[in-house]
Amino acid sequence: MTSLKIKKRIQELKEGFLRDAAEVRDSKAADALRIRYLGRSGLLADLFSLLGSLPTAEKKDAGRELNELKKQFQESVDALQARFRSAADAACSFDYTLPGDPMWIGHKHPLQIVMSEIQACFKNMGFSVAQGPEMETEYYNFEALNIPRGHPARDMQDTFFIDEEKEIVLRTHTSPVQVHVMENQQPPVRIIAPGRCYRNDTPDATHSPVFHQVEGLCVDEGVAFSDLKGVILAFARSMFGSDMKIRFRPSFFPFTEPSAEYDFSCLICRGKGCRVCGGSGWVEISGAGMVNPEVFKYVNYDAERYTGYAFGMGVERIAMLLYEVPDIRMFFENDIRFLKQF
């Protein structure tokens, strides 16, 4: 072997390595490259074994050159392996077989749940749903409901007035919807009016400046107080169960005569007495009564021919009783920890 020949072999080996290294696409191929060139019986070892046949003077130079080459190959293979290893690690850190993060699915607000159930009950009994504006004139909110200016009943409700003249109000109840319906439709009328109402109350555990009501109205020939009791009882039983009892207590509202407040047997203890009902077994729901004939005058109904009943209920009140929510403000704070429970 001459030094010229070995120089040629070294050059060929260099070029071959560069060619092969350019083809490496993964760490397995990088391993194969290392074995082929740097392995115990690899191409570099072949050349080292030829050193012995060189003249002593040339052996040293060729040896240094081969050692230099060995170092270069080693560095190149290390770099390739490091590159593919970090790519493989990155791929491993994303495990496609793991279940994904669950998506949060929104659902109805507790007040909407209760409101929908109330509406469904009354729809089953032949009531249709009527809507009206939340901003009303004082005529619809008070006067046409037999609450004229100066009437003490106006003081019963703390009203949000929109204008200086106190003619535009945020409705204090959904009763104005009844007036709109009766103005546009002769009896028979059988509607419920669900919606938002506003009162200038200081917020506390049982008062909120915005709240929801469902108001009911039925007008026809021969409608009696017993029909009202029957409808309220049917509602109580279809909404809360067949063991529900109801009771009426005399009361006063300007737009009904006679008027009553009605109670349900406690939704939690079913009449036995508990913390929610204060041990009485009854919970107060809302007011009701026979439509005052004075109200019929405002909408040109023949009070001699028609009679009717009206009733209301607070949606928050029912939701608080049903879900044992201790503070009405929780419905409006939109705390997701609270809302998630329904």
Residues 277-296 that bind Zn ion (CB under 5 A): 277
Q: Is 112 exposed, middle or buried (0-12, 13-18, 19+ CB in 10 A)?
A: middle
33 binds Zn ion (CB under 5 A): no
138 vs 263, which CB is nearer to Zn ion?
Answer: 263
The yes or no reply on residue 322 touching Zn ion (CB under 5 A) is: no
Q: How far is the CB of 274 from Zn ion (least distance, A)?
A: 3
3-state DSSP assignment of residue 191: strand
Interacting stretch for Zn ion, rule CB under 5 A, among 118-126, 165-173, 265-273, 320-328?
265-273
Q: How far is the CB of 320 from Zn ion (least distance, A)?
A: 13
User: CB under 8 Å to 63, separation ≥6 — which residues?
Assistant: 51
The whole-angstrom separation of Cα 135 and Cα 149 is 18
Q: Do residues 49 and 66 lie in contact, with contact meaning Cβ atoms separated by under 8 Å?
A: no
Where residue 207 falls (left for φ over 0; alpha for ψ -120 to 50; beta otherwise) is beta
- Identify the H or E element spanning 62: helix 56-93
- Which of the ranges 2-10, 40-48, 242-250, 268-276 carries the binding residues for Zn ion, by CB under 5 A? 268-276
Q: If binding is defined by CB under 5 A, does position 246 make contact with Zn ion?
A: no
Residue number with the smallest Cβ distance to Zn ion:
266
- Residue 301 main-chain phi, psi, to 5 deg: -95, 145
Q: Find out whether 329 and 205 touch, Cβ atoms under 8 Å.
A: yes
Residues 265, 325 contacting (CB under 8 angstroms): no
The two tokens of residue 125 are 């009994």
Contact flag: residue 274 with Zn ion (CB under 5 A): yes
269 touches Zn ion by CB under 5 A: yes
The label of the residue with tokens 């929780």 reads 330
Binding part of the chain for Zn ion, among 123-131, 205-213, 272-280, 301-309 by CB under 5 A, reads 272-280
Size of the site for Zn ion (CB under 5 A): 6
Provide, rounded to whole angstroms, the least separation between the CB of residue 279 and Zn ion: 7
* Residue 86, H or E segment: helix 56-93
Question: Applying CB under 5 A, which part among 143-151, 182-190, 211-219, 269-277 lies near Zn ion?
Answer: 269-277
The answer to the question of residue 197 lying near Zn ion (CB under 5 A) is no
Q: Cβ closer to Zn ion: 277 or 295?
A: 277
If the CB atoms of residues 32 and 276 are measured against Zn ion, the closer one turns out to be 276
Q: Where do contacts with Zn ion occur on this chain (CB under 5 A)?
A: 266, 268-269, 274, 276-277
